[in-house]
Amino acid sequence: MKRAENIFYVGDLKITRIDELTLRGADPARLFGENWQPAALEKHRAWLVPENLDADENTLVQSTHCWLVQSPGFTLLVDTASGNDKERPHNLVFHHLQTDFLAQLALAGVNPGDIDYVLLTHLHVDHVGWNTRWLNSKWVPTFPNATYLMSGTEVEYYGSAASHNKANIPSLGVFADSVLPVISAGQARMVARGGGEVLKGVTFIPTPGHSLDHMSVSIESEGEEAFFAGDLMHHPLQVYYPELNSMYCEFAGSARASRLWGLQYAAERQAIWFSPHFAASSAGRVTREGDTFHWQFL
């Protein structure tokens, strides 16, 4: 595994972080809820400051971005962040955004028409936003030649009022403007519950809990593995405290079990963990000593 600035090489894969937002000001007690212990922050302060923790405010630093993966066989995106122009009154951080996300993609040498596949780990607000853009007074797929792969179970669930639970309030309206237009355009391919290989070396792995049918994505190349973990974790502190769910996890027990499974998986397989929300590089290695996991940014 080699790395340049915001670019990682795993086997014959070139993996580039396409930035959208740096998120500051998250109170860990609010993000992690009743299981949060302030002593956890003090124990890890030295390596978290400054990129992952604001030392003056004692608030967490996070990010929204997606991952561009280029190989000889395909060009794909894992998740699509939050998107511009979206109506998000329940989460003002993402309300009517105007970011240079597509310019960042162009700096990586890729135009929207070059994307072959979009892989969606789940259908929450900050993972599907750039699925679509506002053009000629309607939402249209941002990537006109891409096949969008997503959980069929989540499509059914989030397309229904049954999904309107407390943790999912920030994602209200997302299905209508960021998922349904892709389906209507005939560009969606549903991944069955249980996941599986969708392209050679590209596998959806069930890791439910954060959302109903959340799936992580493994991409293997030349004996190395990239593990796109979606929202198994929102901050590297969770490596050390995997019992911590975020306030956005919809199914608490399953979320904890999937997080622990993902950490064990990455440690045992020496897979590179790619996060959509960690600040700093957002990529790293998980190792294990007894019952404790450790994180090392790359």
pLDDT tens by residue, 230-278: 999 999 999 999 999 999 999 999 999 999 999 999 999 999 999 999 9
pLDDT at 216 over 90: yes
Q: Average pLDDT for residues 71-99, to the nearest whole number?
A: 96
Domain that holds residue 252: 2-297
Percent of the chain predicted with pLDDT > 70: 99
Euclidean distance between CA atoms 115 and 77, whole angstroms: 7
Mean pLDDT score, 16-23:
97
CATH number of the domain residue 218 falls in: 3.60.15.10
Tokens, residue 87: 């109506």
pLDDT exceeds 90 at position 165: no
Alpha helices in the chain, H assignment, sequence order: 28-32, 38-48, 101-107, 125-128, 152-158, 174, 180-184, 237-240, 252-269
HSE at residue 227, side-chain half, CA atoms within 13 A, is 24
Q: What's the structural domain count of the chain?
A: 1
d(CA 73, CA 90): 40
User: Residues 199-216: what's their mean pLDDT?
Assistant: 97
Q: Are strands 117-119 and 75-78 parallel, antiparallel or unpaired?
A: parallel
What's the pLDDT score for residue 4? Answer: 56
pLDDT averaged over the chain? 95
